[in-house]
């Protein structure tokens, strides 16, 4: 490879647009091959070191200077399959890439079944592919959505699939039934994936503190309608209980020994039968000698994939993009007024009697 072509690959990989432009005008080959068999265009469309707008801009200038998007690398990939942005899909098709049934299926997986990709394929006459949906792809569709109505565009169409996922997990719905069967690791991976969908939706109801994450808005009513449609029980705690409630904010009471009192709920608790799927986010009033405000509000929340309002930690942290999905969901049960915590953990199961905190006076459906 010539030095000027090697420099072009480096400029693309570091998103140095001005250098890419300069090298192309000096005669760099837009179709030169890296040692891995990839062209500058293939590297440009798949980089995560820049914004979507920067990737599109670099891809555009490469194509304008002769980059061939129809090139197939030794590993059988093309730039269009490596792309993160649908605008690059449009660029590649406009520059000569032909999409057949096989390519359409690959695109559906690459873009996690995006509604925009489905609409584009339909426009060019491809309405069916061999693509199959998954919890992971629904999660990524939610994360990458940039439209104005997430509920109508993505969530409503996902209800049937997610409902069927929960139906396949029926052994986990009832504690007595669950305790009779051997652990099903794949089922617990599926529960974890479903919970990640929930956690990213909950970002809508959390104020950013620190970096945080952006997500297209859904209303609380839409959130409740979605999970109710899936088949989960929507639970609104009446009295504070740590099993059902995640403390979001604390109002300190001047009196000592004022027991935690729910003032409002930012989002409801979700139950899958006896299994706790997601705790409610609550605003409480309590005495400082019982609840320390800073600890309750901003300490690290464990067993959580994402939060906008506080630090969090998850067993998937540090694993690769595929390996992270092989994480078991923590199983906590409220059954016959007995609390069963982390029953699939390494330690012996802990059972705590709910005492007077019966379902009737702690929550309402």
Residue 137 corresponds to which tokens in the numbers above? 């792809």
Q: Are strands 261-267 and 245-252 parallel, antiparallel or unpaired?
A: unpaired
Residue 30 CA, chain-centre distance (Å), reads 35
Q: What is the pTM of this model?
A: 0.83
Phi, psi (degrees; rounded to nearest 5) at 263: -95, -35
H/E element, 127: none
Q: Using CA atoms, how far apart are residues 354 and 340, in angstroms rounded to an integer?
A: 10
**Secondary structure element (H or E) that encloses residue 144, with its range:** helix 135-144
End-to-end CA distance of the chain: 67
pLDDT tens for each residue of 55-112: 999 999 999 999 999 999 999 999 999 998 999 999 999 999 999 999 999 999 999 9
SS3 236: strand
Closest CA to 227 of 215, 218, 216: 218
As a whole number of angstroms, the distance between CA 239 and CA 218 comes to 27
Q: Which two tokens stand for residue 248?
A: 């979001």
Residue owning tokens 């140095």: 16
**Which residue from 341, 343, 353, 213 is spatially nearest to 279, judged by alpha carbons?**
341
The structural domains of the chain, ordered by start, are: 3-98 (1.25.40.20), 150-364 (no CATH)
For 216, the token pair is: 């297209």
**pLDDT for res 271:** 98
Ranges of the chain whose pLDDT falls below 70: 210-214, 216, 347-365
Which among 71, 74, 54 has a CA at the least distance from the CA of 14? Answer: 54
pLDDT the model gives residue 354: 52
Instruction: Give the residue among 342, 341, 340 at the shortest CA–CA distance from 328.
Output: 342
Q: What angle do CA 133, 129, 229 make, to 5 degrees?
A: 30
């Amino acid at each position: 490879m010539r030095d000027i072509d090697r420099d072009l690959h480096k400029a693309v990989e570091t998103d140095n647009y001005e250098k890419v432009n300069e090298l192309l005008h000096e005669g760099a080959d837009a179709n030169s091959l890296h040692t891995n068999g990839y062209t500058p265009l293939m590297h440009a469309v798949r980089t995560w070191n820049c914004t979507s707008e920067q990737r599109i801009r670099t891809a555009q200038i490469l194509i304008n200077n002769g980059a061939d998007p129809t090139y197939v690398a030794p590993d059988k990939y093309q730039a269009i399959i490596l792309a993160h942005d649908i605008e690059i899909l449009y660029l590649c098709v406009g520059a000569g890439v032909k999409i057949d049934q096989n390519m359409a299926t690959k695109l559906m997986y690459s873009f996690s079944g995006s509604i925009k990709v489905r609409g584009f394929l339909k426009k060019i006459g491809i309405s069916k592919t061999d693509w199959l949906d998954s919890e992971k792809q629904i999660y990524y569709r939610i994360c990458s959505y940039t439209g104005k109505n997430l509920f109508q565009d993505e969530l409503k169409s996902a209800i049937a699939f997610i409902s069927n996922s929960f139906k396949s997990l029926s052994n986990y719905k009832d504690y007595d039934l669950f305790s009779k069967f051997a652990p099903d690791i794949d089922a617990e991976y599926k529960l974890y994936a479903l919970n990640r969908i929930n956690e990213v939706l909950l970002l809508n109801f959390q104020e950013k503190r620190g970096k945080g994450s952006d997500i297209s808005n859904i209303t609380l009513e839409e959130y409740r309608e979605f999970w109710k449609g899936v088949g989960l029980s929507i639970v609104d705690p009446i009295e504070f209980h740590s099993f059902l409630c995640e403390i979001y904010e604390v109002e300190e009471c001047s009196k000592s020994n004022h027991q935690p009192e729910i003032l409002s709920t930012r989002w409801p608790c979700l139950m899958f039968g006896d299994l706790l799927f997601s705790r409610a986010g609550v605003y409480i009033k309590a005495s400082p000698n019982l609840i320390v405000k800073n600890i309750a509000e901003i300490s690290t929340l464990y067993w959580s994939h994402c939060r906008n309002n506080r630090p969090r930690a998850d067993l998937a942290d540090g694993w690769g993009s595929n390996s992270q999905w092989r994480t078991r969901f923590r199983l906590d049960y409220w059954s016959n007024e007995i609390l069963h915590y982390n029953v699939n953990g390494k330690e012996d199961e802990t059972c705590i009697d709910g005492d007077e905190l019966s379902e009737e006076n702690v929550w309402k459906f």
